Structure 1
Amino acid sequence: MNEALRENHEALREENEALHEENEELREANQELRHENKQLKAKLRWHEGPHTPPSKEQSSSGESSSSDDEDDDGGARTDGGTPGRKPGHDPAFRNAPDPDREVEVTCGCCPECGEDLDESEGVSPRLVEEIPDPQPPEATQYNRHYYECDACGAETVASHPDCPDEGQFGVNVIAQATLSKYEHRLPHRKTADRFEQLHGLEFSGASAWRATERAARAGRCEYEHIRTQIQHADVVHVDETGHKLDGEQTWIWTFRTDQHTLYAVRESRGSDVPEEVLGEDFDGTIVCDGWTAYPAFSRNLQRCWAHILREAEDVAEDHDQAEPIYRTLKQMYVGLQSWLETDPSERQRTRMHESARKGLEELVNRSVSDGPVATLLGKIERGLDHWLPFVGEPAVSPTNNAAENALREPVILRKLIGTLRNERGMFVHETALTLLATWSQQGRNPYEELQRVVRNNEMISPDQAVPEVASG
């Protein structure tokens, strides 16, 4: 009996030693994985910091947005979602147009045996949409008569809406060249190739550039009109991103409302730019991120919750003290969003604003050690007056996604063109982007609108075309 117990004890001891060795190996492997994970997180934070817009963040799992975890969070997403139709949504089909003509397609004999066929048994219709062949260019000579007034001696040259004041290319060429650059993202050389291949029009890259400049000069009055509309808006989303002008650092700013989008390229990233674009007397609400230029310009701010949630999540990944802060912020944001969907009264909004403000004050009064967690709480505290305007004002959005979305197209073009060559290029860039973005918002056809502004023949002179770049 004792021998059996001794053998059993020996076997258990050997098994325990084996398990201990296996545990040590797993511990070492776990430490290596932790180290590797930390390095990967550092690289990820370098490439995609907390201020990375949601459109650039991709779901690592590839799962549908209707997963259980996301439902538990109230549907608040921090990634870009998944492409395609979401589960439960009806598919969208393209509306079939009415046919412009009908062609009877018949068959005289059987393709299998060659026997003559009798009358048709029925019709199998197929609707095909086609575009006409590209047309060759038309050369029109406009004999513009000029006159001298007998009364005052003023000389007048007659004008025609299809004859631009300068250059040899017409309205359609100018409009298509501009769309090729700023809608289809073609280099000027490729635009010239397209005109020659499709229409047989002798066109150069320099001609394409001059055409876009003429379109911008013709549309500058409308650009200023858009600026005026934004200056009188109640809510404006503002954001900025870097760009190069002749290799030097500049910034492209966007100012977006529900009906208008304006771009401005400036050397400054300071508060002087919003002051210049919006005017000193602007009294609307600015939706923005935490950049210091905005509070230096206005006290009526709505800070972006998407930014602070991403930053809190980023800090919480490395610091346990930040995890309850991130959780509290997210629960507050999701709860407020759900509550606002009930269409509360103005009095209810005021009470909720006060309650949420107290919640944020309690959050920032937490005792934490110095470091990233304290920095995070400091950012929340400095923005206490700017986190909750959306609770009391129905027209205000809690995030700055509208402005970030507006910067997507300039960022793509920046990757393609690298740098603007000079201030004339800056002028064309901001004007064309503004007009096309605004027309798209308003559901207007950009080609028809470009034709309209060029036909107005209100081109400003080249000297007037180049604005002074605000420096700072």
Structure 2
Amino acid sequence: MVMNKDEIIWEQKREIEKLKKENAEFKKDIRERDTMINELFKKIGILETQLKEVIGKLRLYENPDTPPSQQRLKKKQEQRPSNGKRGAPKGHKGTTRKQKDPDEIIQVGSDNCPKCGSEHIKKLRVKKKTVEEFPPTKERKTKVIQFDRDECECLDCGEIFISEDERCPKEGGFGVELMVYVILLRFLTRAVLRKIGEFMGYTHDFEITAASVNEIVSRVANASTGEYEKLIEKVRKATKVHVDETSFSVLGKKWWLWVFRTDTDIIIAFHRSRGHFILDEILGKDYSGIVICDGWSAYQCLKNAIIQRCWAHLLRRAKEYKRDVVGKKIYKELKLMFEEIKLFRESNPDKEARQEKYEEFTSRMDSLLKEYSGYEHLDKVITYLENGKNDWFTCVLYENVEPTNNYAEQTVREPVVVRKIIGAFRSINGTTNYAKLASLIATWKLNDKNIKDELRSVIVNNLCLSRVFLLPS
């Protein structure tokens, strides 16, 4: 059928309207999709931000500067079946204590049978059982002691003085043994001030506030200032020292706790900065011994010192690249070199052999750097190696120098536990008190000394007696 002109126009208009409607629907659909895409981009942005935060937090626990003992998120290692018997390893001390002679013997008898209640019983034998016991709380109460001190005048020089006793502090109302007890609770059990007061209330029926406990800590810390300064002098004269640092919150700000460990002494110190200031203060700018440390730039200020970079840090850093074939290869080569260093040191080489081996290792390190410097993804570990190029083999050249800084990292563990317990120091005095007493106690433990006796000696000599009458330390 042939359409006339009007019908054709009408049909075209209808088609146009249909197309307009479809076009409008397409535009609406496009707008909805644009909105959806924008929402997805926003979500992607949020997820990327969250991912960065998670990666940042993860780096606190999984980074080459975190020792294995502090890594919380470790991969579970598959346990291989063992043919050995269950139980403690050889040399384990066990829990059985050596029995001591009794101070008191208590006779325990029976008047009747516990089963039927009969009084017709016969004694067969005596079964001995020994226990170690504390006296009851009421017998462990503190004593109140009055010291009637003579005030005297020297007839030769006219000096008027008050008689002294090693059990009587010149200031304060707490005795020597009580102060020793509080310091041991504070530093050996890591008890917080409030809990020390509660504990002494329950066990000794002795009331003491957290403020009074803190006053005791401050008083004993002040008394130990001289001993702490002697430690610093000894460390300055040491031929080698392990140094490490970790962050610590003080008054809500990030401070740094530093440890300095020699073969016989340990110093703990706090500073606002992670820079070279504390190194100048403790070791001195002219320190010329061997410093075992990580790769932190602050140690470069010790111009006269000989540096030994920590191989444990290096291997942890190289281990991050094990997933890659080339990264796995460089890690294996470094690990092999480290094992060779340990074996060489155990062989007790002479000076000539040390020099020869030092040159060999240095040459091998140069070759390793040339071989792997072209791999861009290894830039960080290559730069780390190059920065410490002259400091990786000091332990080969000099005897009795460890290739790792594990001794310092072990020393840091105790303050790290304290940090987890208290969270932060709320005064500058708190850091000073902790540094002095923690240093002395750590040093005494390192030298297997009786901490209680050493602490008592410090208190008596500095809080009870004049210089003329000091007890031997």
| TM-score with structure 1 setting the length | 0.78
Mapped pair 1:60 → 2:75: yes
Map residues 374-385 of structure 1 onto 2, 5 A cutoff: 374-385=379-390
- Residue deviations 1:52-89, cap 9 Å, x none? 0121136533556999xxxxxxxxxxxxxxxxx99863
| 2:57 aligned with 1:48 | no
Question: Equivalents in 2 of 1:150, 1:115: separation in Å?
Answer: 79
- CA shift digits 1:368-426 (9 cap, x unpaired): 44645122112112212111111232311111111111111111212222222222212
Quote the offset at 1:224 in angstroms.
1.4
Is this contact kept in 2: 1:271–1:293, CA < 8 A?
A: yes
Q: Sort the Cα spacing of 1:54 and 1:458 in 2 relative to 1 into closer, same or farther, 3 A.
A: same
Q: Aligned residue for 2:317?
A: 311
What is the CA distance between 1:147 and its match in structure 2?
A: 3.1
Larger Rg: 2
Q: Secondary structure at the residue paired with 2:264?
A: coil
Answer yes or no: is 1:433 the counterpart of 2:438: yes
Deviation at 1:152, TM superposition (A): 4.5
SS at match of 2:356: helix
1:67-78 to structure 2, matched below 5 A, reads: none
**Greater CA drift, 249-258 or 153-162:** 153-162
Match of 2:102 among 100, 103, 111: 100
Matched, 1:129 2:132: yes
User: Where does residue 288 of structure 1 map in the other structure?
Assistant: 293
Q: Does 1:442 align with 2:447?
A: yes
Indicate conservation of the 8 Å contact 2:240/2:289, yes or no. Answer: yes
Structure 2, unmatched stretches of 5+, are 1-50, 466-473
- Where structure 1 has 5 or more consecutive residues not aligned to the other structure, the ranges are 1-37, 68-84, 461-472
For 1:277, the equivalent position in structure 2 comes to 282
| Matches of 1:66 and 1:414, distance apart in 2 | 39
Q: How much has 1:340 moved relative to structure 2?
A: 2.8
Q: Which has the higher contact order (CA 8 A, sep 6+)?
A: 1
What SS is found at the alignment partner of 2:254? strand
Question: Are the equivalent residues in 2 in contact too, given 1:237–1:403 (CA < 8 A)?
Answer: yes
CA separation of 1:88 and 1:379: change in aligned 2, threshold 3 A? same
- Out of 350, 360, 374, the residue aligned to residue 355 of structure 1 is 360
Distance 2:196 2:88 in 1: 41
Residue in 2 that maps onto 1:250: 255
User: Is 2:334 the counterpart of 1:329?
Assistant: yes
In structure 2, what is the Cα distance between the partners aligned to 1:357 and 1:97?
Answer: 58
Distance 2:230 2:351 in 1: 34
Matches within 5 A, 1:451-462: 451-458=456-463
Distance in 2, Cα, partners of 1:234 & 1:126? 55
Change (3 A) 1:398 1:367: closer
Write the distance in 1 (CA, Å) between the matches of 2:136 and 2:237: 46
Show the counterpart of 1:75: none
Please point out which of 140, 143, 148 is paired with 1:138: 143
Contact 1:303 1:383 (C-alpha < 8 Å) held by counterparts: yes
Name the CA distance, whole Å, in 2 between partners of 1:347 and 1:409.
40
CA RMSD, Structure 1 to Structure 2 (Å): 3.0
Q: Residues of 1 paired with 2:298 and 2:87: CA distance?
A: 39
What letter matches 2:90 in structure 1? H
Q: Distance in 2 between matches of 1:346 and 1:193?
A: 60
Deviations 1:3-28 (A, max 9, x none): xxxxxxxxxxxxxxxxxxxxxxxxxx
Looking at structure 2, the residues matched to 260 and 206 of structure 1 have their Cα atoms a distance apart, in angstroms, of 31
Aligned match of 1:232: 237
**Distance across 2 between alignment mates of 1:41 and 1:321:** 24
Percent identity between matched residues is 32
Task: State the match for 1:469 in structure 2.
Answer: none
Deviation at 1:322, TM superposition (A): 2.3
CA distance in 2, matches of 1:394, 1:64: 38
Aligned equivalent of 2:307: 301
Decide which moves more: 416-425 or 190-199. Answer: 416-425
State how 1:257-272 maps to structure 2 within 5 Å: 257-272=262-277
Q: Does the 8 A contact of 2:165 with 2:464 survive in 1?
A: no
Equivalent residues, number: 405
Amino acid at match of 1:56: Q
Cα distance in 2, alignment partners of residues 185 and 330 from structure 1: 38
Specify whether residues 446 and 158 from structure 1 end up closer, same or farther in structure 2 by C-alpha distance, changes over 3 A only: same
Q: Deviations over 1:14-43 (max 9, x none)?
A: xxxxxxxxxxxxxxxxxxxxxxxx999886
Secondary structure of 1:91 counterpart: coil
> Is the Cα–Cα contact under 8 Å of residues 164 and 464 in structure 2 kept in the other structure?
no
Which amino acid in 1 is paired with 2:93? A
Deviation at 1:449, TM superposition (A): 2.1
1:265 match: secondary structure: strand
Aligned partner of 1:79 in structure 2 is none
Deviation at 1:236, TM superposition (A): 0.8
Name the CA shift for 1:367/1:438 in 2 (closer, same or farther; >3 Å).
closer
Kindly provide the amino acid, as one letter, of the partner of residue 151 in structure 2. Answer: Y
* Paired residue secondary structure (1:127): coil
Match of 1:14 in 2: none
Cα distance in 2 for residues equivalent to 1:131 and 1:309: 50
Q: Which amino acid aligns with 1:169?
A: F
CA apart distance, 1:456: 1.1
Aligned partners of 2:372 and 2:382 also within 8 Å: no
Encode CA deviations 1:96-121: one digit per residue, 9 max, x unaligned: 14223455555676655658555635
Choose 255-264 or 420-429, whichever is displaced more.
420-429
TM-aligned CA distance change 1:43 to 1:92, over 3 Å: same
- How far, CA to CA, are the matches of 1:347 and 1:198 in structure 2? 63
8 A Cα contact 1:218 1:459, kept in partner: no
Between 1:205-214 and 1:234-243, the stretch displaced more is 234-243
Contact 2:65–2:313 under 8 Å retained in 1: yes
